[in-house]
């Protein structure tokens, strides 16, 4: 029986503390009827990992994070018919069960998608969470049409365009026909252009005047991929009547949504784990991942990996987490290879 090496913690500590991550040996999970067991070959670190670790209470059971994964199915549950042992798959998973920072993980078969055999492990590990978040925000919450060039003539403004979600959102938006404007530091404007942004904006400067200078008076959607408080007034000025403001970051204080009332604009929150948290249309996530992989194979989107650690172990997971916690990450950071103590 193989051992299941897992990397986790028993209390949320600063990442610089020796026990902020530890190695554990856990039993290899047994699949429920609709689950598969995946031997994990690549993972990614996302802001949700850092937030969940930083706020975790002390407990005796190891807490295992990880919400991006690629790997190979080693077991299938009795009710699984769409997948087989040996299939290569990707998924984000759920926060309700131990995550992908372990060698063998149990995952609901509705949440996974078959992955191309020849695609780089690093690319596949980087796609699920940001891909699902961007797709659900753009097409399910903000109401744009998820078809090639279907939204031609419309404009999307992205706040924080160079991060993991922003880099994916801009590519999906461009594919669907949207004209994309996005903010970042000027040093990352070439990155924005390479990921589907037609008009890069300097977040240090007045955004309304920059958008108007670009010849755009109002936009059809605003995606707030940062704390919404500093940007809500700007979004309310730029959004068109009956437009959509979408957000993925919780407010640090109260939000006055009265600023968009007279435009009858909507404010939409996207949280990728809401579907699994509340058992709402769970199978759509596996279906979305399949669509994203088709776009990836067709060259319409790329995975935007900027840092890859070889070997999945405590030291590398700490280093990757520190990069994400610093708050200046462009693209995605991944860990690939074998697990080790």
pLDDT in tens, 234-292: 999 999 999 999 999 999 888 889 999 999 999 999 999 999 999 999 999 999 999 99
pLDDT at residue 1 is higher than 80 = no
Please indicate, yes or no, if residue 275 is contained in any of the structural domains: no
Q: How much is the pLDDT for 341?
A: 87
Residues 114 and 176 in one domain: no
Q: What is the residue range of 56's domain?
A: 4-127+280-339
Q: CA-CA distance, 205 to 55, in Å (whole number)?
A: 33
Give the pLDDT confidence of 91-117 residue by residue, as tens digits. 999 999 999 999 999 999 999 999 999
Domain boundary among 269, 299, 331: 269
Helix (H, G, I), strand (E, B) or coil at 161: coil
Closest CA to 330 of 206, 186, 174, 218: 186
Rounded to two decimals, the pTM is 0.96
167: Cα separation from own chain's centroid: 10
Please indicate, yes or no, if residue 43 is contained in any of the structural domains: yes
Q: CA-CA distance, 47 to 214, in Å (whole number)?
A: 32
Residues 261 and 297 in one domain: no
User: What is the CATH classification number for the domain harbouring 109?
Assistant: 3.90.180.10
Structurally, the chain folds into a number of domains equal to: 2
Please indicate, yes or no, if residue 231 is contained in any of the structural domains: yes
């Amino acid at each position: 029986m193989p051992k299941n090496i897992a990397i986790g913690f028993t209390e949320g500590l600063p990442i610089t503390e020796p026990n902020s991550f530890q190695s554990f040996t856990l039993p290899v999970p047994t699949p429920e009827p609709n689950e598969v067991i995946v031997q994990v070959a690549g993972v990614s670190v996302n802001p949700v990992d850092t937030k969940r670790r930083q706020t975790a209470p002390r407990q005796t059971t190891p807490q295992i994070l990880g919400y991006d994964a690629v790997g190979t199915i080693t077991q299938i549950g009795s009710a699984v018919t769409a997948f087989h042992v040996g299939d290569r798959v990707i998924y984000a998973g759920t926060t309700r069960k131990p995550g992908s920072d372990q060698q063998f993980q149990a995952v609901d078969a509705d949440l996974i998608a078959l992955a191309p055999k020849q695609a780089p492990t690093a690319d596949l590990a980087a796609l699920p969470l940001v891909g699902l978040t961007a797709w659900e925000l753009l097409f399910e919450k903000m109401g744009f049409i998820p078809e090639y060039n279907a939204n031609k003539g419309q404009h999307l403004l992205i706040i924080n365009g160079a991060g993991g979600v922003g880099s994916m959102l801009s590519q999906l938006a461009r594919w669907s026909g949207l004209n994309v404007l996005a903010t970042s530091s000027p040093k990352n404007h070439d990155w924005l252009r390479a990921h589907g942004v037609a008009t890069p904006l300097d977040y240090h400067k007045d955004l309304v005047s920059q958008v108007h200078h670009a010849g755009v008076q109002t936009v059809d959607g605003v995606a707030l991929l940062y704390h919404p408080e500093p940007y809500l007034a700007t979004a309310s000025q730029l959004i068109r009547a009956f437009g959509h403001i979408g957000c993925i970051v919780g407010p640090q204080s109260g939000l006055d949504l009265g600023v968009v009332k007279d435009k009858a604009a909507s404010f939409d929150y996207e949280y990728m784990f809401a579907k699994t948290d509340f058992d709402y249309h769970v199978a759509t996530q596996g279906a979305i991942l399949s669509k994203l992989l088709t776009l990836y194979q067709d060259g319409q989107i790329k995975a935007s990996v900027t840092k890859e650690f070889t070997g999945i172990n405590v030291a590398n997971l700490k280093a990757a987490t520190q990069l994400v916690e610093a708050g200046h990450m462009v693209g995605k950071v991944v860990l690939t290879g074998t697990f080790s103590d």
